[in-house]
Structure 1
Amino acid sequence: MRQESAHVLVRRRVVDLADALTAVPLGIAFLLGRRAATRRFTYGLGRAEDLAGVVVVLLIAASAALAGYESVTRLLDPRPVDHLWVVAAAGVAGFAGNELVARYRIRVGREIGSAALVADGLHARTDGFTSLAVVAGALGVALGFPLADPLVGLGMTVGILIVLRDAAREVFGRLMDAVDPDTLDAAEHTAARVDGVRRTGYLRMRWTGHTLRAELAIGVDPVLTVGQAHRIAHDVERRLVATIPRLSAVTVHTAPHEG
């Protein structure tokens, strides 16, 4: 019995170690993202952060697989657990710590536009769920229901899979250049209000690390000189960069527009 309670605590420490290790690919990605663009990598290395996000998603998937495997194993081969209150106390502490870390990472990730950091925060939340499962399982066993531990574990596995879906949506959406449609609407509205812009055409945006880049077409008076059209394009770029959060650069194409 003592071996089993020790196994639960060791497994908890292994999960915490896996959570800490996610800081390694993220740290490397952030350092690479700061490097200046080169003739080979003309947009810099901001995409390294997206790759780090994929690593985090894979770790969340591994957590779900481990939780499911352990739960099924214990359901088929129930084993007693001693020192229940010690296990429960460790679980409560683990849940509280991981949830605080998760909220901080998610908040900062949203602020700086980092899908990878948001995914890492969600990963910390899955660890919190695992700790919560330990607590619920220990309480169930203490109340005389030995199957509570594996059944709660299966429920937490489902919860981790839900978190995995959210994290994968963040990371793979970024890899596929997904941008909030409201951001595009705001950019089009801002560009249309610049003096000299008669219409706005196509608008494309994509993330590179923490920042957005955009391409926009605008229509101007056909009698304008090249210099005048260029000044309008520059005004559009300056206004967009000042207005749209995380937007760092805009390529503005001008075309004559009658009317």
Structure 2
Amino acid sequence: MVKAALGRVAHAFTPHSHDSADKTDAALESSSRGMRVLAISFAVLMVTAAVQAVIVVASGSVALLGDTLHNFADALTAVPLAIAFSIGRRAATRRFTYGYGRAEDLAGIVIVLLIAVSAGLAGYEAIKRLLDPQDMQAVWWVAGAGVVGFLGNEWVARYRIKVGREIGSAALVADGLHARTDGFTSLAVLLGAGGAGLGFPIADPIVGLLITGAICFVLRDAAREIYHRLMDAVDPALVDAAERIIGTVDGVQRVGSVRLRWIGHALHAEVEILVDHDMSVVDAHAVAVEAEHRLIHDLPRLRAATVHTDPHGPDGADHHATLSTHRTT
């Protein structure tokens, strides 16, 4: 009993290890895996787009041109993400006390801009060809290029989504979903080729406009995702889960505020718990440490948590009276 009590006291005054070397190693490994995914998917999409580009020159298909431009843009999104992953591995400093994980959000802004540019170029070419229809050459090659685009994008989508979910990178998952959408727009090229083969050359620019519309939908979703990250939005289900986890800790009489934010592909938490007002400082700290321990282990992608303890009771006591004029929430 004495040994257990001494161990509890020692643990209470020892910095909690879950936010030190083991968490740093996990973060570095996650970034390394993200970099590998980006390098491989970049190569696959560039080869896919290059094959399509050759057929665009031979056929003059604007639908295929729009798809090719989108695939090039999708491949190029790997560049800002790779830079962000690299920067995010840097250690925190006295200026950037939370580290450099938010570089992923800046990369997201660049990705949104690249998608917007690809939509603009595809729409321009489709409208120009709609006003001046031309016969499509090498129809079967165009159809084949659409299939190649679908297969390349779907492979990249599955790879990015799988690893993105495993390492907790919302940016990588979103980029994977973007690639999947690109795959379906590549299949739409088949419609343009089929229309041209049946003697309706106007089908090609019409499909080009449809692809432009699909790119705009992707642009909207990507912009919304980045906006949420920049505004520190999280899934409310994560807050509910955090409250449930904390509520199971012995000594926690009530759960106060719970704040979560994404920094890169890791969650950080700031929570308040209420404990018995007669509890000693050592015991109250031990409860806080256990709450932090449970959160880090049970809440997916949580890398660090700051737990603040408040006394619960006696009735009518205001333990924050001095701060009442400074608190807005």
Q: TM-score, normalised by structure 2?
A: 0.73
Instruction: Tell me the residue number matched to 1:149.
Output: 204
CA-atom RMSD, angstroms?
A: 2.0
Counterpart among 227, 231, 238 of residue 282 in structure 2: 227
| Alignment correspondent of 2:214 | 159
1:255, 1:137 → 2: CA distance?
A: 66
State the AA in 2 paired with 1:120. D
**Residue 157 of structure 2 is aligned with which of 83, 102, 110?**
102
Residue 146 of structure 1: SS of its match in structure 2?
Answer: coil
Code of the residue aligned with 2:270 in structure 1: it is: E
Q: For 2:258, which of 203, 213, 225 is the aligned residue? A: 203
Deviates more, 1:148-157 or 1:110-119: 110-119
Q: Indicate the larger mover: 89-98 or 101-110.
A: 101-110
Which whole-Å CA distance do the structure 2 matches of 1:3 and 1:214 have between them?
A: 53
- After superposition, what is the alpha-carbon deviation per residue over 1:223-256, rounded to whole angstroms, capped at 9, x for unaligned? 1111111000000000010000000111111111
1:5 maps to: 59
- 2:132 is matched with 77
What residue identity is the alignment partner of 2:265? H
Asked if structure 2 preserves the Cα contact closer than 8 Å seen for 1:215 and 1:252, the reply is yes
2:238 corresponds in structure 1 to: 183
8 Å CA contact retained: 2:246, 2:255: yes
- In the TM superposition, what whole-angstrom CA distance separates every residue of 1:92-129 from its partner, at most 9, and x where no partner exists? 11111112212321332233222221232244235434
> 1:121: which partner in 2?
176
Runs ≥4 residues deviating over 6 A: none
**In 2, are the aligned partners of 1:129 and 1:160 still within 8 Å (CA)?**
no
2:58 and 2:206 map into 1 onto residues whose CA distance is 17
Identity %: 64
1:59-108 CA distance string (max 9 Å, x none) = 12222222221221111111111111011111111111112212321332
Equivalent-residue separation in structure 1 for 2:186 and 2:160 (angstroms): 18
Return 5+ residue gaps in structure 1 as ranges.
none
For residues 250 and 207 of structure 2, the distance between their equivalents in structure 1, rounded to whole angstroms, comes to: 62
Partner residue in 1 for 2:83? 28
**Correspondence for 2:114:** 59
- Residue 131 of structure 1 is matched in structure 2 by 186
Quick one: distance in 1 between partners of 2:68 and 2:119? 16
Cα displacement (A) at 1:211: 0.6
User: Deviation string for 1:176-229 (max 9, x for gaps)?
Assistant: 111111110010011011000000111100011111111111110111111111
Alpha carbons of structure 1 residues 70 and 6: separation in structure 2 relative to 1, 3 Å? closer
Structure 2: segments with no counterpart, 5+ residues: 1-55, 315-329
231, 236, 254: which one pairs with 2:291? 236
